[in-house]
Structure 1
Amino acid sequence: MKPSFDDLALFIQIARRRSLAAAADYLQLPPATVTRRLKRLEAALGYQLVRRSARHFSLTNEGEVCYEHYAGLLDELEQTGARLSRDSQEMSGLLKVSAPTNLATGPLSPMWTAFMRRYPQVRLELMLSNRTEDMLEKRIDIALRIGPQADSGLYQKRLGWVATRLVAAPEYLQRAGRPERLELLQHHQTLMFKQFSPWRLNNADTGKQVDVHLTPAALVDDLALVLQFACDGLGVALLPMNEIQQPLLSGQLQLVLPEWFGPQRDIFAVWPDGKLLSARARCLRDFMQEYIGREPGLQGAVAE
């Protein structure tokens, strides 16, 4: 049996106060509990720590060695714990956040500014990447992610979702014609984001779901580049609304086969399982939920 940290801490208090009764009073424990736990510690260590009688208290030689060895370590652990507890409650200090580049620098770019203005004492370290970062390895406090979260070692909170729609530039549609039926896409140039291949499309009117297998003119693992190709008139693309909302409003892009839509892309705040969120991380999580909740395009809305 291994000695427990709590029992060692209790022994340190007994040794400092030279009395089981005084230690019981300080720790607000019943004297019988203190006696029982001391005996349990001695049994775990295999030697007696305290010589005790009705009138006399002293540490054994082993007790003196144990006290000298553990007292400083326990003090350091308690001080570190107190410091971490204070840090977790303070709205100041470093906050490491991971987020997808396209989303963070696009529709959410004003959100970071608003958060920093409201909480100027928080030092925000933003790690932007379209790759999924290892949160424990990179010591990330909280992350913003899109799509299914298969990692069971993460807590997650859904903040919103983004629709995906088929689009093309007016010049492409004028040149190649506008497809009026889904099967006519095979006669068109298509631009594919690798994570969406093949296209899984759903009909808003009938509920029918179809996997569309096409040979794309370009297969790309970066959404921004697929968007650029679509705006340049190179073909039909399936893209999320957060990428295409402004091009649709400005006329750079138009919806194609508007009755069909692609997979829903959920937006999550995630943090490591077992990690207590600091006040800073909790605040950002709630701030993101409030901000994203006010954005129609991040709650499934579609610009026509």
Structure 2
Amino acid sequence: MLDDLKIFITAANKHSFTQAAKSLNMTIATVSRRISALEQALGCELLHRSTKGLKLTPIGEDYYQECAEFIDALDQRISNLDKTLHSLSGEVKILAPTNLGSGPLDAFWQHFASKHPNIQLNIELSNAIQDMHENRADLAIRSGPLPDSSLIQKRLGFIEPILVASPNTSFTLPNRVEDITECPSIAANMFSDWRLIHQDGSICALQKNHQHLSNDMNISLNLVKAGAGITLMPTSMVYNAIQAGELIQVLPEWRGQKREIRLVWPHKRSLSARAQLLRDELTLFLHQQAWFEQAD
């Protein structure tokens, strides 16, 4: 109905099916047929047809006055929305897990902001799964298993947890996986259950009482650096510390269960050009990191 109204308004303004068809990039027959269908649906004649062109009927004049401003305003809003969606200037909001968004992705945020100064990043971090619609977010990074949802999901790859400790511990580092139970340990709440997988595929589920627990992975990381114990943590969190010699990997043949990383966005919302750019550049950045395993 809205499309037919627009055709009617255009034909009334142009006083011609031919000119309306040209303006709307339609055939004359289509314009004529759509207006006839509108008249039939309304049960009245809107336009007088003659060799001199089109003229509004009295009822058509009333209908035109009621609808023209509405259709023009709607066209303007659609045009503004189109410009907003295709503009590389403006805000893009992304949700991300705290332990990935802060630290491992610091270099990415800095690079993106420097490369695209007209795009305003709105980054909201939380280890809880936040509702994208309530938060009016364009994109979200999700870690671990996801419930079924209407969100579009793009699998990016995996991050593997590994065992690490300070090279300057006061306790003896384990030589076997069973020895871990004798070592002081530190855990983030979300990594407190240590289910380890050997490179040969065997599994060891350790029952471990940790000396220190925190809901902030950075606190756990700092305690490990201080030599307070051994920990199981995502490679993304400890990679730089290992490279700097602040941490060493313990029992490298054993690893934690891989956590899948995805990008998601609302199914019924068109991604803006800014969000598409962020999505593509973030994907490329992750695939270039030594601590990230790309999905097949």
Deviation at 1:57, TM superposition (A): 4.7
Does 1:52 pair with 2:11? no
Deviation at 1:237, TM superposition (A): 1.6
Does 1:34 pair with 2:31? yes
> 8 Å contact 1:193–1:223 — kept in the other structure?
yes
The 1:268–1:129 alpha-carbon spacing in structure 2 relative to 1, beyond 3 Å, is same
Indicate the residue corresponding to 2:5 in structure 1. Answer: 8
> 8 Å contact 2:198–2:253 — kept in the other structure?
yes
- Matching residue within 18, 29, 33 for 2:15: 18
Deviation at 1:277, TM superposition (A): 2.1
Post-superposition Cα deviations, 1:37-58, rounded to whole Å, max 9, x if no partner, equal 22332344x4314253545854
The answer to which of 72-81 and 191-200 deviates more is: 191-200
Q: Distance in 1 between matches of 2:24 and 2:250?
A: 71
Indicate the residue corresponding to 1:237 in structure 2. Answer: 231
Using structure 2 for the length normalisation, give the TM-score: 0.85
Does 1:194 pair with 2:215? no
Post-superposition Cα deviations, 1:57-83, rounded to whole Å, max 9, x if no partner, equal 544444333222221111112112222
Does 1:209 pair with 2:206? no
Q: Distance in 2 between matches of 1:47 and 1:61?
A: 14
SS of the residue aligned with 2:154?
A: strand
Identity of aligned residues (%): 35
Unaligned runs of 5+ in 2: none
Indicate the residue corresponding to 2:289 in structure 1. Answer: 295
- Matching residue within 277, 283, 300 for 2:277: 283
Q: Distance in 1 between matches of 2:14 and 2:102?
A: 59
SS of the residue aligned with 2:238?
A: helix
Indicate the residue corresponding to 1:114 in structure 2. Answer: 111
Unaligned runs of 5+ in 1: none
Post-superposition Cα deviations, 1:153-175, rounded to whole Å, max 9, x if no partner, equal 32233444322111233454x42
SS of the residue aligned with 1:136?
A: helix
Name the aligned partner's letter for residue 2 of structure 2: F
Q: Distance in 2 between matches of 1:244 and 1:28?
A: 59
The 1:113–1:53 alpha-carbon spacing in structure 2 relative to 1, beyond 3 Å, is closer
SS of the residue aligned with 1:296?
A: coil
Post-superposition Cα deviations, 1:124-144, rounded to whole Å, max 9, x if no partner, equal 233333333322222222233
Q: Matched residue pairs, number?
A: 293
